[in-house]
């Protein structure tokens, strides 16, 4: 079983839709959970992170961790075409030097 | 702040030759740098971790003699792909973190390597 599982999509939504991106994980140690956004042929950029359980909101983005079900979610409200990218969830494994990434979900927001 | 650059952004080389990729932290001192590899439509896989002045630690399955990593200063790490073959064609991404951050890594823009 992979430490982080993520549906690769693709996911296509109309502009203005609420997007839900999800991951599951299998190891509860090192409780930072990260969401990265990667545009085509670019390096990933950190979008948000959460520590332990609960919600964190930043503008149109909300990150959520449910430790009881080992579920990580990222919600995008009022999605825009500029949100079209691949979204990767990640968590640490064996220390804060090793990031394990999910497969990434490709999102397309069409006008 | 926290900008990481890579050079070159893309490179084409012939099979059997070596190619060097540079990763620089532009506005902070990177005590630890990381090298990842990403195949098309796949996720990032950590290849190795390096601390300034120390030998790199390679992930299982990564050939240390083929992927030479040097982290000679607090702002520069290099990855040399030796005797490259077409199967080494991939997107190589570095990241870096400073001593003030226990967890946050800053990623470079990546280098696309094509071996013909």
One digit per residue, pLDDT tens: chain A, 111 residues? Answer: 678 999 888 999 999 999 999 999 887 676 789 999 999 888 999 999 888 778 899 999 999 998 888 899 999 999 999 999 999 999 988 777 889 999 999 999 999
CA distance A13 to A109: 5
Our CA-based measurement puts residue A60 at a distance from the nearest CA of chain B, in whole angstroms, of 22
pLDDT at residue B1, as a whole number = 64
Q: Do A38 and A13 form a contact (C-beta atoms < 8 A)?
A: no
* Residues B42, A92: C-beta atoms closer than 8 Å: no
Question: Quick one: tokens of A69?
Answer: 């079900």
Please count the other Cβ atoms lying within 10 Å of the Cβ belonging to residue A19. Answer: 19
Which residue from B4, B49, B108 is facing A97, i.e. has the nearest CB?
A: B49
| Host H or E run for residue A8 | none
Residue A32: list chain B partners with CB under 8 A: 103
| Lowest-confidence region among B34-38, B87-91, B97-101 | B97-101
Residue-level pLDDT at A9: 85
Structure tokens at B62: 């990564």
Contact (CB<8Å) A99/B105: yes
Chain A hits for B42, CB-CB cut-off 8 Å, are: 103-104
Partners of B103 on chain A (C-beta within 8 Å) are: 32, 49, 92, 96
Decide which of A7 and B13 is more confident: B13
Give me the residue from B42, B49, B109 closest to A43, CB to CB: B109
Average pLDDT of the residues in B11-25: 97
User: What's the pLDDT score for residue B20?
Assistant: 97
Q: 3-class secondary structure for chain B?
A: CCCEEEECCEEEECCCCCEEEEEEECCCCEEEEEEEEECCCCCEEEEEEEECCCCCEECCCCCCCCEEEEEEECCEEEEEECCCCHHHCEEEEEEEEECCCCCCCEECCCEEEEEC
Tokens 């397309």 identify what position?
A108
Chain A residues within 8 A of B108 when measuring between CB atoms: 43
């Amino acid at each position: 079983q992979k430490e982080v599982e993520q549906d690769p999509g693709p996911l296509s939504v109309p502009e203005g839709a609420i997007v839900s991106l999800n991951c599951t994980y299998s190891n509860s140690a090192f409780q930072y959970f990260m969401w990265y956004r990667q545009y085509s042929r670019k390096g990933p950029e950190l979008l948000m992170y959460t520590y332990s359980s609960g919600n964190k909101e930043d503008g149109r983005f909300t990150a959520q961790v449910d430790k009881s079900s080992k579920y990580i979610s990222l919600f995008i409200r009022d999605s825009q075409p500029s949100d079209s990218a691949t979204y990767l969830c990640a968590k640490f494994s064996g220390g804060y030097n090793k990031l394990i990434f999910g497969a990434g979900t490709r999102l397309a927001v069409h006008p | 702040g926290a900008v990481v650059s890579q050079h070159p952004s893309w490179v084409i080389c012939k099979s059997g030759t070596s190619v060097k990729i540079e990763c620089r932290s532009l506005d902070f001192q990177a005590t630890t740098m990381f090298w990842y590899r990403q195949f098309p439509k796949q996720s990032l896989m950590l290849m190795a971790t390096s601390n300034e002045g120390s030998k790199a630690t390679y992930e299982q399955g990564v050939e240390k003699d083929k992927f030479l990593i040097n982290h000679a200063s607090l702002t520069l790490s290099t990855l040399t792909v030796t005797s490259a073959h077409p199967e080494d064609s991939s997107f190589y991404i570095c990241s870096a973190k400073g001593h003030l951050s226990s967890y946050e890594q800053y990623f470079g823009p990546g280098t696309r390597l094509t071996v013909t």
